[in-house]
Structure 1
Amino acid sequence: MSILLLAGSPSAPSRSTRLLHHVGDKLARRGHRYARLDVRDLPGQAILRADWNDADIQAALATVEEASAVVVATPVYKAAYSGILKAFLDLLPQFGLTNKLVLPLATGGSQSHMLALDYALRPVLSSLNPRHVLPSIYATEAQLSWSEEKGLVLDAPIEARVNEGVEQLSASLSALDASPLKVSDAVLK
């Protein structure tokens, strides 16, 4: 079982991508393999023009298809997730997340934008037919700090939410690994 860390920030470095890598490190310590995909590294023209023939786009879509779980991270701008992430999600097939577990992460300037996950990102992710979208994790600038010496430091409530999200994703992946999806389960979904 593999996990895809999907970074939807248009800038580097970014708080959302650092949070994503923090989650990836925690998953790796639990024995999970993961791949990283930074949407900003894909060719802009190919994303904006929905060029499915572009080799980089095809490779990115194959990476999503091969993953058992996707951890999606985005900054929140003007009460919505990033446009570059939206453009990439639009390239996925109609059921591009079928039978996958999804953990949404977001960062923003204030708590005022927290609902962007539930009212903007979650419906798009759900429309792609995932097995389950786990509870979202949202962190503000004040809840995350970065230094070259210490790396990413989360305040206690966000660290607890991250640990809970990692535990839920890890346990769900283990359950899937122990009990493979049956054809009848796929039909019922």
Structure 2
Amino acid sequence: MSTTRTLAVVSAGLGRPSSTRLLADRLAGAAADALRAEHGADVVIEPVELRDHAHAMVDATLTGFPSGDFRAAVETVTGADGLVAVTPVFNASYSGLFKTFFDVLDRGALDGTPALIGATGGTERHSLALDFAVRPLLAYLRANVVPTAVYAASADWGSGEDALGERVARAGAELAALVAGRPAPARDDPYENPVPFEDLLGSAGRAG
């Protein structure tokens, strides 16, 4: 019997469509292909476009907790078996949208979560932002980040050589291996073991 694994795909692109979302989808697809082919798992991919939650993220930083659709997005990420996180590079670092999302997560929410990081930018000169900014951020949150990070410059999309595709495949396989080697998290059903009605009555009587 195959195991179902969930991959949350966080994309901080500002446009629609965006190269950031395109890279995120390719990375998630590579990881899903490797999980199916090499580990016999069923895979569910859950995309989270931060652009859609920009205002809610600011509200969450002010109130201290997410709400509505943004809360559902946070729960998707924190409950996933693996994470793909991709940001555009602005001023040699991750975007403010990307950082704000991870700022509102509860401490420990990503402990041990296998993660694959990626970034997009105009030139290859910004590729070091992955190792000097994005990787430390996810490491601080105690995610288990795979060795291969994938940066895609504008030239990578139009190149006849598929160097980008090779990096994507390698990173996806690394994420798949970590996800497959991690025990599937227990997803408790609050209705599986209900409190007996007589116990509820007894508690109510004692309270009264």
TM-score normalised over the length of structure 1: 0.82
AA aligned to 1:121 is: V
Aligned 8 A contact 1:46 1:57 in 2:
yes
Aligned 8 A contact 2:85 2:118 in 1:
yes
**Counterpart of 1:48?**
58
> Which of structures 1 and 2 has the bigger CA Rg?
2
Q: Give 1:154 shift.
A: 7.5
Counterpart CA distance in 2 for 1:25 and 1:69 is 13
Determine what percentage of the aligned residue pairs are the same residue. Answer: 29
Q: Give 1:118 shift.
A: 0.9
- Does residue 39 (structure 1) correspond to residue 50 (structure 2)? The answer is yes
- The one of 112, 118, 125 equivalent to 1:105 is 118
Task: Give the number of the structure whose residues are more often strand, by fraction.
Answer: 1
Computed over aligned residues only, the root mean square deviation of the Cα atoms, in angstroms, reads: 2.0
Aligned 8 A contact 2:6 2:82 in 1:
yes
AA aligned to 1:6 is: V
Aligned 8 A contact 1:101 1:134 in 2:
no
> CA offsets per residue over residues 16-75 of structure 1, 9 Å max, x none?
111111222333334332111001111x33212324242122111111111011100111
Equivalenced residue count is 171
Structure 1: segments with no counterpart, 5+ residues: 146-152, 182-189
Counterpart CA distance in 2 for 1:134 and 1:17 is 21
Q: Give 1:89 shift.
A: 0.8
- The one of 146, 159, 166 equivalent to 1:160 is 166
Q: Give 1:134 shift.
A: 3.6
Counterpart CA distance in 2 for 1:105 and 1:154 is 21
Aligned 8 A contact 1:5 1:36 in 2:
yes
Counterpart CA distance in 2 for 1:10 and 1:56 is 19
**Counterpart of 1:139?**
152
Q: Give 1:135 shift.
A: 2.3
For residues 1-189 of structure 1, the aligned pairs below 5 Å read 1-30=5-34, 31=36, 32-42=43-53, 44-49=54-59, 50=61, 51=63, 52-145=65-158, 155-177=161-183
Counterpart CA distance in 2 for 1:155 and 1:83 is 32
